Copies of this chain bind each other. A is one copy, B any other.
Amino acid sequence: MARLDVATGGHRMQIGFVGLGAMGSAMAGRLLAAGHAVHVFNRTAQRAESLRAQGASVAATPAEATAQAQVVVTMVSDDAALGQVTFGKDGIASALRDDAVHVGMSTIGVDAARQVASRHRAQRQRYVSVPVFGRPDAAAQGKLFLMAAGADADLQAVSPLLGQLGQSTHTIGPEPWQANLVKLLGNFMLMSMVETLAETAVVADKAGIEPARVVEALTGTLFNAPPYRNYGASIAAQRFRPAGFGLPLAQKDNRLLLAAADALGVPLPVASLLHDRFLGVRARGIGEGHDLSALAVGALADAGLRWKDG
């Protein structure tokens, strides 16, 4: 099949893929489309069915997805899930070949990343962290932005794979956790932008200016980047559902950043402020099903304004 040869550059790889949420499914689908052999595992087996239809082999355990793989990608929801699929019963570590590389792409905490790397190292196994920026549709098209950290040789080994998932890969440093930290910092920049846009929209509203008009005037000119435009529009319209970046996930990531900064000895007043905002918003019943943009409810409430439920 010529198409495959082109897509994989002639290197059809055996890939294990663990974690089939919206992001994981799109990424695994991308790898299948590129011609790789993909062995998928998900805790809830049903989520694997559409990938099976696309040609994936469905494994019963992480170990089974790992056994033949040259690369195993994990894309799970949090620290605990990563620990479980990696070092739990029938986990990745129990089956990882000496020459294979585990590529952790989940958004996790720095401590968790350190531990995963350290336990793999103790077993003489190869591990790199490559968290990503982008939504599922970007994943499906190989348009993610990748932050990669780990040993050079290991990153080199997986670079063809990364090239198929992302439009660019930035190498952060030799320690896998460094990439996880950069991912948390990127999310922090997003959240700070959201809070700032929310305060801006509220001032506009109280000044009798349509928030959408101000948001457009600013994000169509000086702040002309997609996250500004997208979050700005959502905040101006008070369109807080459906969740792109779910508010509870964002809150969790902010906690992870604060923990990392605490360990590094860095005060982060903006992140502290966001922490309090998240708590205040959630105490008002906002959270499940809401997007990060719903953080704006904090600024709205403090200005005595109402907000739509949506």
The answer to the question of A160 belonging to the interface, with a C-beta cut-off of 8 Å to chain B, is no
The answer to the question of A185 belonging to the interface, with a C-beta cut-off of 8 Å to chain B, is yes
Stretch at the interface among A76-84, A85-93, A151-159, A209-217: A209-217
The answer to the question of A182 belonging to the interface, with a C-beta cut-off of 8 Å to chain B, is yes
Q: Complex formed: what's the CA distance from A275 to B220 in Å?
A: 27
Give the residue of B133, B178, B189, B275 whose beta carbon is less than 8 angstroms from that of A267.
B275
The answer to the question of A303 belonging to the interface, with a C-beta cut-off of 8 Å to chain B, is yes
Contact status A280-B255, CB under 8 Å: no
The answer to the question of A284 belonging to the interface, with a C-beta cut-off of 8 Å to chain B, is yes
The answer to the question of A225 belonging to the interface, with a C-beta cut-off of 8 Å to chain B, is yes
Q: Complex formed: what's the CA distance from A279 to B272 in Å?
A: 12
- Kindly report which residue of chain B lies nearest to residue A200, judged by CB atoms: B185
Contact status B280-A267, CB under 8 Å: yes
Contact status B145-A199, CB under 8 Å: no
Contact status B272-A221, CB under 8 Å: no
Give the residue of B172, B204, B207, B261 whose beta carbon is less than 8 angstroms from that of A203.
B261
Mark A191-224 against chain B: 1 for CB-CB distance below 8 A, else 0.
Answer: 0110111011011101111000110111011111
New A-B contacts (14) at CB < 8 Å, excluding given A173-B209, A192-B193: A133-B221, A168-B220, A182-B218, A185-B204, A186-B218, A193-B196, A196-B270, A203-B264, A206-B266, A207-B260, A222-B225, A265-B283, A266-B279, A272-B273
